[in-house]
Chains A and B, each alone.
Chain A
Amino acid sequence: EAQVTQNPRYLITVTGKKLTVTCSQNMNHEYMSWYRQDPGLGLRQIYYSMNVEVTDKGDVPEGYKVSRKEKRNFPLILESPSPNQTSLYFCASSLKGQGTGYTFGSGTRLTVV
C-alpha cells in the first residue's frame, strides 16, 4: 500500500531532551516536507526536501533540523524542544513537489512539558 509512515503517533517529552520523529514513504517520491498544525493557523511548513541531500527552510524552521540521506526517509529532529513546539506534526510527500498533490502521514502529536 502506498503510504507515508510517521513514528511515533504520540510523544510526551521534557524541555531540552533531543528527539527525532521519523518519516518514510514507499512511493519513490522526490519531494518530502514537514508541517506543523496548530488550531486556527492551519498547516505551516517547517522544512522541505526536493531530493536526496537537498533541503530548504519553510516558513517556521526555527528549532528544527532535518536530513535527507535516503530518498524514502526524511526525519525531523528537535535538538532542544521547548513548550512552544507542542503541536501536531505531519510529514508529506509528493512525486515532484511542484504541481502535484501531497500524501500525508498519520501525524505525530508532540507535547513538550
Chain B
Amino acid sequence: QQPVQSPQAVILREGEDAVINCSSSKALYSVHWYRQKHGEAPVFLMILLKGGEQKGHEKISASFNEKKQQSSLYLTASQLSYSGTYFCGTEIGTGGFKTIFGAGTRLFVKA
C-alpha cells in the first residue's frame, strides 16, 4: 500500500523546475507533502483533500488528480534551500488514521 514516488532522485541547477509524483493504487482520502533536510525532522509543506485540488504558493505547489490516486509536487525556479528529501504521505479512506509514506525523492539543487 506504500505510495510510489518518482523520480527517486533529481539534480537541478538553481532556477530550474522539478516535478515529483506520488501514485497510489487506491483512491486516497488525502495526500500530505513533507521536506526533510539531512539530519533533521520532516517538515510539513501542505495537504490536499479534494480531487482536482491545487494548492501552494507560486514557487512550491501541488495538485491532486480528479480520481484522487495521484499527486504531484511542483518546485519552480528552484533555490539551494530546496535541497532535501521530499516525502508524500497518503491516507486511504475515511475512519482510518494511518498515514503511509512513500520512500522519498532526493532533490539536490546546485549553484
Contact = CB atoms under 8 A, between A and B. Distances in A.
Binding partners A and B: yes
Interface of A: 31, 33, 35, 40-45, 48, 50, 56, 58-59, 90, 97-107
Contacts of B32: 101-102
Interface stretch (B59-67, B71-79, B95-103): B95-103
B87 A105 contact: no
B9 to A, nearest CB: 12
A42 B2 contact: yes
Interface string B41-52: 111101101000
A101 B30 CA distance: 10
Given A43-B87, A90-B42, A106-B40, A101 B97 contact: no
B98 A58 contact: yes
Contacts, number: 60
Chain B interface bracket (under 10, 10 to 19, 20 to 34, 35 or more) = 20 to 34
Given A42-B87, A90-B42, A99-B29, A59 B100 contact: yes
Interface of B: 2, 29-30, 32, 34, 40-44, 46-47, 49, 87, 89, 91, 94, 96-104
B50 to A, nearest CB: 11
Contacts of A42: 2, 87, 101-104
A105 B47 contact: no
Contacts of B96: 98
